[in-house]
Amino acid sequence: MIRFLLSASALASILTVTACGQPAVVEAPVADTPDQSQTRPAMVAAANPLAVEAGLAALRAGGDAVDAAIAVQSVLGLVEPQSSGLGGGAFMLYFDAQTGELTAYDGRETAPASASPELFLDENGEPLSFYDAVFSGHSVGAPGAVAMLALAHGDHGELDWADGFDAAIELAEEGFAVSPRLQSFIAGMAPRSPIDEWPASRAYFYLEDGSPLPVGYQLSNPAYADSARAIAADWHNLYSGPLAEAIVDAVQAEPRPGGLTTSDLAGYQALRREAICRPYRQWTVCGMPPPASGGVTVNEILGLIEPYDMAATGPETVEGWRRFIEASRLAYADRDAYIADPDFVTVPAEGLLADVYITARSNLVTGTMATPHVTAGTPAGIGAPGLDATPDSPGTSHFVIVDNDGDVVSMTTTVESVFGSHRMAGGFFLNNQLTDFSRIPVDADGQAIPNAPQAGKRPRSSMSPTIVFDAEGNFVLATGSPGGSSIIAYTAKTLVGMLDWGLTPQQAIDLPNVVAHGDIVRVEDGMPTDVLAGLQGLGFTLDANRGEISGIHIVRRLEDGSLIGGADPRREGVALQP
Ligand code: GLU
């Protein structure tokens, strides 16, 4: 178990509570006892203003952060359907300011009972192409976001569960304006998508003359309103009954029908897990444990740069970015090799974050020239298993909510690729999350790949909802992003930006993204030319001046108790107070 390595006085006892025979809830360092007589400032930062407004309305009504999360998610599923929704999955960190308890909620999709390691092999035993796999019924896992929110609501909700769907139902019935970003994905979906085979998806997004909906089009979705109403009445209505049957019909349709059944849906279980927390300088950084790779990998990146004086080598320096790049490459190599669903394979999460391993690996960051090639290490003497090279593509949304009691939600939520599998049921898109599994069961050397599909297994994720605490266990900030496996780099950048480089949340978001996953380093447009030239001079192979589609949302508490937020200009979000 990863423990909070704080001073004895600051460290609360680590209490594990087994729930449903599953992992666990862990107490974060206990914060100063909050003053019950005063409400604290609240904030919602999310990818769409309508969703932010729904979250703020829940807070104004006296809701908890988790009540606001239900409202934000149900609206995002309608107005930002390319990223997340009722047919997708999610991970959420929840910090209860009163008890100091931090809970990691796992709403990751699961593979159906019929799934095997050969899920994405064709009739000849060859892996399907990525897009053939995405658009097949095989890619759809049992959705987990709704069950996860219901679990968290049972633990922390203060408003009625049904209230969380009011805003979404109203918008679905009255219509909402198609945003420029949504429009760009609608216009871009036809060439690659089998949308013509999906009358529901096609009718929803295209006018009768065949043209895609324009920006500002007032789009209503009565089917979504009906689904939201059914789920509001009882969240189980997503998992059994007419809605579940509609999901299964869509999954089992041609081309390449998938094996998801109503019993797979009925058997879905959201989980409470133990957050991954590790000290970083005077802070404690907590993230999502496996099957998400975010908590381990973000903390490994930070651990690898911790011995170095990052504050002295700021974002305008070659040396600052060299360290960030080398640490990212090393941590990503470990992530690719080892992280998968811990309920199916042994994941050496503790070994990867153990001081002895981190210290040895951080020595590899010492050099002056670029390391030519980086491979996985051997944490706690465990040899690397089969090499996984699972691609993923960017759907997904991240939001942060701080409520008036100081409770915090940091949640990343996804249908995986843009519009998921492009299959629709009940007015929402079904995920293609199972393509986050390796499409091949063994690597070129014949070694089994831990992240291969299996019945009931959760595919590895890169999602990295993160919460940072100070030495006394008080909430400092929450961050996270969409972006496929680049989520880890985007999130780590914001942490280095704020904690080491003294940037505001917005400045940290605005820094160019640098994604060092493998031997090619992607550098976003906006990096100073002398830094680019310097990195090239050190021998890095750069893919420079490219676009990056992070969608980072942050809320940070300042020393005077006020909140400051940031929203990623690469998307359409805002950070607002009630
Ligand atoms: N499916 C990815 C994951 O869970 C996220 C995809 C994305 O951010 O676009 O890691």
pLDDT (average), residues 512-530: 96
Ligand 1: centre distance to CA 538 (Å): 31
The Å distance, Cα 90 to ligand 1 centre, comes to 10
**pLDDT confidence bin for 268, thresholds 50/70/90:** very high
Q: Is residue 26 part of a domain?
A: yes
Mean pLDDT, range 72-97, rounded to an integer: 98
Report which ligand 1 atom has the smallest distance to the Cα of 463.
Answer: 10
Residue 572 CB neighbours (<10 A): 20
Distance CA 335, CA 327 (A): 12
Q: What's the mean pLDDT in 259-274? A: 98
User: Percent of the chain, pLDDT > 70?
Assistant: 90
- Beta bridge pairs of residue 542: 521
Catalytic residue, candidates 396, 435, 466, 494: 396
Residue 367 pLDDT class (50, 70, 90 cuts): confident
396 tagged catalytic: yes
Is the entire prediction scored with pTM above 0.95? no
Residue 130's pLDDT band (boundaries 50, 70, 90)? Answer: confident
Q: Give the pLDDT score at 447.
A: 87
Q: Report, as an integer, the average pLDDT of 311-331.
A: 98
Can you tell me the mean pLDDT for 44-72? 98
Instruction: Please give the average per-residue pLDDT across 416-428, as a whole number.
Output: 94
Q: At 419, is the pLDDT very low, low, confident or very high (cuts 50, 70, 90)?
A: very high
Q: Judge if the beta carbon of residue 179 lies within 6 A of ligand 1.
A: no
Measure the CA–CA gap between 188 and 202, rounded to whole angstroms. Answer: 13
The pLDDT of residue 30: 39
Summarised one tens digit per residue, pLDDT across range 156-212 is 999 999 999 999 999 999 999 999 999 999 988 765 566 666 777 888 998 988 889
Residue 480 lies in domain? 4-175+220-273+390-576
| Residue 341: inside a domain | no
For residue 8, is pLDDT > 70? no
Whether residue 93 has pLDDT greater than 90: yes
Q: What is the CATH number of the domain that holds 469?
A: 3.60.20.40
Cα of 31 to ligand 1 centre, how many Å? 32
Question: What pLDDT score does 566 carry?
Answer: 98
Q: Hey, what amino acid is at 248?
A: V
Tell me, in angstroms, the distance from the centre of ligand 1 to residue 418's CA.
10
pLDDT on residue 389: 65
Query: Which of 297, 434, 460, 461 has most ligand 1 atoms within 8 Å of its beta carbon, as the pocket-test mutant?
Result: 461
- 416 within ligand 1 shell (Cβ under 6 A): yes
Give a yes or no: residue 296 inside a domain.
no
**What mean pLDDT do residues 444-471 have?**
95
Give the pLDDT score at 548: 84
Which parts of 43-125 fold into alpha helices (H)? 49-60, 65-79
**62 inside domain:** yes
User: Which tokens sit at 28?
Assistant: 């974060």
Under a CB-based contact definition with an 8 Å cutoff, are residues 270 and 144 in contact? yes
The number of angstroms, rounded, from the C-alpha of 515 to the middle of its chain's C-alpha atoms is 16
Lowest mean pLDDT among 26-35, 273-282, 487-496: 26-35
The CA-CA-CA angle for residues 364, 492, 285, to 5°, reads 95
What percent of the chain has pLDDT above 90? 79
What is the position in ligand 1's atom list of the atom closest to the CA of 485?
A: 10
Assign 393 a pLDDT band (cuts: 50, 70, 90).
low
Q: What is the mean pLDDT of residues 419-427?
A: 94
**From residue 113, how far is each of 181, 256, 261, 292 by CA, in Å?**
36, 17, 8, 21
Q: What total number of domains does the chain contain? A: 1
Task: Assess whether the C-beta atom of 482 lies below 6 angstroms from ligand 1.
Answer: yes
Q: What are phi and psi of 151, to 5 degrees?
A: -65, -45
In a domain, 202, yes or no: no
Residue 332 lies in a domain: no
The response to whether residue 487 sits with its C-beta less than 6 Å from ligand 1 reads yes
Question: Would you say 216 and 178 are in contact if contact means Cβ atoms under 8 Å apart?
Answer: yes
Q: Could you tell me which residues are beta bridge partners of residue 90?
A: 107, 413
How far is ligand 1, taken at its centre, from the CA of residue 487, in Å?
8
Q: Which amino acid is at 294?
A: G
Cβ proximity of 220 and 99 under 8 Å: no
Q: Residue 516 in contact with residue 329, Cβ under 8 Å?
A: yes
Residue 366 covered by a domain: no
The pLDDT, as a whole number, for residue 446 is 87
Query: In this structure, what token pair is assigned to residue 185?
Result: 């994905």
Please report which confidence band the pLDDT of residue 384 belongs to, taking 50, 70 and 90 as the band edges: low
Minimum mean pLDDT range among 18-27, 259-268, 299-308: 18-27
What's residue 395's pLDDT?
A: 77
How far CA 502 is from CA of 133, 313, 317, 499, in Å, comes to 43, 12, 15, 6
Q: How many Å apart are CA 335 and CA 349, to the nearest integer?
A: 10
- The average confidence (pLDDT) of the chain is 90
CB 420 near ligand 1, within 6 Å: no
pLDDT given at position 392:
58
Residue nearest to atom 9 of ligand 1 (CA): 394
Residue with structure tokens 């178990």?
A: 1
User: For the residues 372-390, what does the mean pLDDT come to?
Assistant: 78
Q: Is 394 in the pocket of ligand 1 (CB under 6 A)?
A: yes
For the Cβ of 462 lying below 6 angstroms from any atom of ligand 1, the answer is yes
pLDDT score for 25: 34
Tell whether 231 is covered by a domain.
yes
